[in-house]
Structure 1
């Protein structure tokens, strides 16, 4: 069931989403060689609590951390471990969710540690980021969920990469994951019609190689099956009468 949000609800989702944006900004400033992923977890948790908010991921379906920190071939749900030490050229995807006043915000960003070590890595990150921008631009009332997925898939595959299919974007609001699902692949003009009041987390996840995935023995960390690198960008948006508006932006 899809619940259209009131203006007041959208304001609360935006408040939560902006805290997420602040977290990603602060965490990004600490991503450098020699830093442990757990250091980022501590920074994020302290900041979220300082903002009188709740880390949305911690305890969600048993997930044990506030952040997902996924490095290189890790696509999503990577544990921010003490032994996960960042090195120059690593691609680090940080996903964060916040609960504030009963509403959720959700966003993700891929960072490079210090500097890119290959042109292909830079192309991957930039293409994934651009695909999110283009996906948001087609999220107008009257368009379809399939238009979002088609836009991401077409752009990414033209760039020579693969869209992850096993995991998708989603609605967001009073729950972290609400209907509808928002795939990063699809056919134009198909699927649910977009309406004002919908709040969505659009999140392209992209691999340099195959779109096939596997889950590590920790039961959470999703990696590319072929070991190639991945990138992940996400924004929480609202669809308004005049078009889409990003809520998870500073």
Structure 2
């Protein structure tokens, strides 16, 4: 069932979105050389508890994955791009870290992700794939307007990927959300414009382009969760929660530096 939110309900989602943005800003600040992923996980747990929010990841058990997820943030390093389990790994100079988080506050969810380079040694190819996901996200947001279709969002993301020369995997992509983290809508990161559901005010979507530098194929770690590029190439992931309003798209998880 697709639920259209009232302006007041979107405002409540925006409250959650501001907190999610705060968490991802903090993760970007503390993700440094010598920091363990488990320490980032614990720090985020503390922020969630202090805010009185609820993690949407804890006990999450979809059709994929091995057992319920027992962390509050996904931390994916280098060739890992989605659903990375925080584990005993110390960040190194030049690592690419993707952080993805969804929480609920007073029953309303927001979901967002960002990718950063750790330390001071940044490979230009890594920076380029990060920029590509960010540009694709902005193109997707611009397409999220009343009267457009879901295919317009997918086509916008895919168009940016093609311009950068990156292949696109369509197995995992965006989705609708509101009272729960995942609704019935799947938004692939490539598609045909003018196709699919007509976008209406009140629809809230998590738009999340992710690319690997040289492949659209993925593999799963033995943990059943962490998704990596099949050829080991580095990856990036950018995501915002966006509300479609009469006046156009409103980003509910925009970070200050954006």
Question: What's the TM-score once normalised by structure 2's chain length?
Answer: 0.94
Q: Which residue of 1 aligns with 2:65?
A: none
- Judge conservation of contact 1:13–1:105 (CA < 8 Å) in 2: yes
Q: Which residue of 2 aligns with 1:167?
A: 172
Return the offset for 1:68: 0.2
- The CA distance in 1 between the partners of 2:15 and 2:43, in whole Å, is 20
- The CA distance in 1 between the partners of 2:198 and 2:142, in whole Å, is 15
Return the offset for 1:116: 4.3
Which of residues 174, 177, 184 is equivalent to 2:182?
Answer: 177
Return the offset for 1:179: 2.4
- The CA distance in 2 between the partners of 1:203 and 1:116, in whole Å, is 26
- Judge conservation of contact 1:166–1:213 (CA < 8 Å) in 2: no
Report which stretch shifted further, 55-64 or 236-245: 55-64
Q: Which residue of 2 aligns with 1:84?
A: 89
Q: Which residue of 2 aligns with 1:37?
A: 37
Q: Which residue of 1 aligns with 2:4?
A: 4
- The CA distance in 2 between the partners of 1:148 and 1:66, in whole Å, is 28
**2:185 match: secondary structure:** strand
Which of residues 72, 77, 82 is equivalent to 2:78?
Answer: 72
Matched length: 249
Q: Which residue of 1 aligns with 2:144?
A: 139
1:1-250 to structure 2, matched below 5 A, reads 1-61=1-61, 62-81=68-87, 83-250=88-255
- The CA distance in 2 between the partners of 1:47 and 1:133, in whole Å, is 28
* Cα displacement string for residues 197-219 of structure 1 (whole angstroms, at most 9, x for unaligned residues): 00000000111011111111101
Question: What's the TM-score once normalised by structure 1's chain length?
Answer: 0.97
- The CA distance in 1 between the partners of 2:168 and 2:140, in whole Å, is 13
- The CA distance in 1 between the partners of 2:211 and 2:133, in whole Å, is 6
Could you list the structure 1 runs, at least 4 aligned residues long, displaced by more than 4 angstroms after superposition. none
**2:184 match: secondary structure:** strand
- Judge conservation of contact 1:135–1:148 (CA < 8 Å) in 2: yes
- The CA distance in 2 between the partners of 1:186 and 1:221, in whole Å, is 25
**Pairwise CA RMSD of aligned residues?**
1.0
- The CA distance in 1 between the partners of 2:146 and 2:121, in whole Å, is 38
Structure 2: 5+ residue runs without aligned partners? 62-67
- The CA distance in 2 between the partners of 1:84 and 1:95, in whole Å, is 17
Structure 1: 5+ residue runs without aligned partners? none
